[in-house]
Amino acid sequence: MRLVIARCSVDYVGRLTAHLPMAPRLILMKADGSVSIHADDRAFKPLNWMNPPCTVRESTNGDGLAVWTVTHGKSGEKLVLTIEEIQHDSSHELGVDPGLQKDGVEAHLQELLAEHITTLGEGYTLIRREYPTAIGPVDILCRDAEGATVAVELKRRGDIDGVEQLTRYLELLNRDPALKPVHGIFAAQEIKPQARVLATDRGIDCVTLDYDELRGIEPDTPRLF
């Protein structure tokens, strides 16, 4: 990972155009080929970014300023960074990340849902749990009643991070001609409203899971039927 703190402006050229005026910013260039631009606020969310695959070309403009042009390998969209001053530039080898370790309940949810995959819909069939990808395992990969591939991300409490994680998996899985088109389901015991809105906007279905029901435990409250 390369970390650059620089005074720069950023122009996005693609389906839309956007401009960030000259200011100090953090530039993250990751080993997966992604580039993201951050300010000293907004928590983890970048001001602008380019997903992999992309290439970076360094040049100089007429004013003698460094220009980094980040071009997406498929869409041709670009991030153009005009750099006035670099205050810090370092590279670090992080190695392979082991991924997020699920707690006991979350791991058991995955096991139970795999056993009762028709909880997601009539006619669903399991392909496998922990389906391996280059960026980590997908919790559950299955097929719906029409035979289409479905990737499921499981959480105890579903928030925006989980939707982002599933989005990355879907982008990768949909490059595989043997699997595409791949649809996403975000499943959790509780899904935050913001996460539900983001998932819906990205065409991802949300499913709220009842842990006790999956375990076959009857509810404490009496029912008529």
pLDDT at 14 (0 to 100): 83
pLDDT band at 222 (very low <50, low <70, confident <90, very high): very low
Token pair for 37: 């631009």
CA neighbor of 163 nearest in space, from 136, 191, 189: 191
- Element housing 114 (H / E): helix 104-115
- What mean pLDDT comes out for the span 85-100? 83
Q: How confident is the prediction for the chain on average, in pLDDT?
A: 88
Is 24 or 213 the better-scoring residue by pLDDT?
24
pLDDT band at 221 (very low <50, low <70, confident <90, very high): very low
Residue 225 has pLDDT above 50, yes or no: no
* Residue with token string 């990808």: 133
CA distance 154 to 161: 12
* 35 pLDDT higher than 90: yes
CB atoms within 10 A of CB 26: 16
> pLDDT tens for residues 153-211?
999 889 999 999 999 999 999 999 999 999 999 999 899 999 999 999 999 999 998 87
SS3 state of residue 162: helix
Residues 6 or more apart whose CB falls under 8 angstroms from that of 38 comprise 25, 26, 27, 28, 46, 47
Percent of the chain with pLDDT over 70: 92
C-alpha 7/C-alpha 99 separation (Å) is 33
Name the strand (E) or helix (H) holding 82. Answer: strand 78-91
For the whole model, what pTM was predicted? 0.53
For 193-207, how does the pLDDT look when each residue is reduced to its tens digit (9 = 90+)? 999 999 999 999 999
